[in-house]
Amino acid sequence: MDTIGCGTAIVTPFKADGSIDEAALGALVNWQINSGVDFLVACGSTGEAATLDEEEWLHVISLVVEAAAGRVPVWAGCTHNSTKVLLRQAALLKQVSGISAVLSANPYYNKPTQEGQYQHFLALAKAVDPLPVVLYNVPGRTAANLEPATVARLVAAAPNIQAIKEASGKLTQIAELVHTLPRGFKIFSGDDNLALAAVGIGAHGLISVAANEIPAEVTRMIRAALSNHWDEARELERRFAQLFEANFWESNPTPVKTVLSLMGRCTDHVRLPLVPPTAATRARLERLVGEMGLIEHMRSLQG
């Protein structure tokens, strides 16, 4: 896998009736690519994959691949806490031509052991081979941490496991991955607010939530860090640190969809069990968007 840099974990826009807003999704993909992002992740947690039925999930991935039209790699989120179901869904991905990699998070709720996770991810890798697999370690959502030693076992057993999105929030864990995994293995921060620190210790980029709202700026920040232009990278981080935090004032992607709606990019509709932000959170987001000039910025882009 050659991909490095900034990837956007893109939201799935919904219409007022709860259906997928295909036009808004296509427009978001075009804006992301025109803004310079290095790759896109469809149907991750920010894309509300957990609330899409199987047909919708596959359709959203197809729409993103179609809209991207080969301009950037598209990774497909494919996660389940039943290995049997995961493998069935992985087989469905073969219907979509143009997927560059499969991103899969720890099995949630079950709290599997390291051996359980090893067997789960190994089964996925074999099922989609030769398509690259990107492991997604996000214990804050899944209640299961994927330890570096297990990642090393998986990489040794399945050559198509080629990257990891690390969202444990533990820089020491990211450092251990950097130090112990083969040099060609790619490590991506899963946290906007830790991305520069992760790149500083050897990570290869970021899979970002905030890039939904400010794709050009987050991409510039990561590229600057990867190029050792740390003054520029830190200045961009300082400028947008509040937004990185605000995107998690309530459960993701509720805040980021609210910001995108204020910017005129899509509605703020989310699917249950997520709900719209409280009035207080919305007021804080409106204030922050105003202070950062994001609405004026969008107007200037739209001419």
| Alpha carbons 293 and 277: distance in angstroms, whole number | 21
Contact assessment for residue 233 and residue 186, using Cβ atoms and an 8 Å cutoff: no
Contact assessment for residue 11 and residue 28, using Cβ atoms and an 8 Å cutoff: yes
Q: Which of 243, 258, 253 is nearest to 45 (CA)?
A: 253
| Alpha carbons 105 and 78: distance in angstroms, whole number | 8
Beta bridge partners of 187: 164
Q: Which one is catalytic: 108, 165, 186, 257?
A: 165
Pairing of strands 186-189, 133-137: unpaired
Containing 163, the helix (H) or strand (E) segment is strand 161-166
What does R_g of the chain's alpha carbons equal in angstroms? 18
Query: How many Cα neighbours within 13 Å face the side chain of 249?
Result: 23
| Amino acid present at 8 | T
Q: Which one is catalytic: 108, 136, 186, 257?
A: 136
Q: Is 165 designated active site? A: yes
| Residue 82 tokens, joined | 């039943």
As a residue count, the chain comes to 303
- What residues are labeled active site? 136, 165
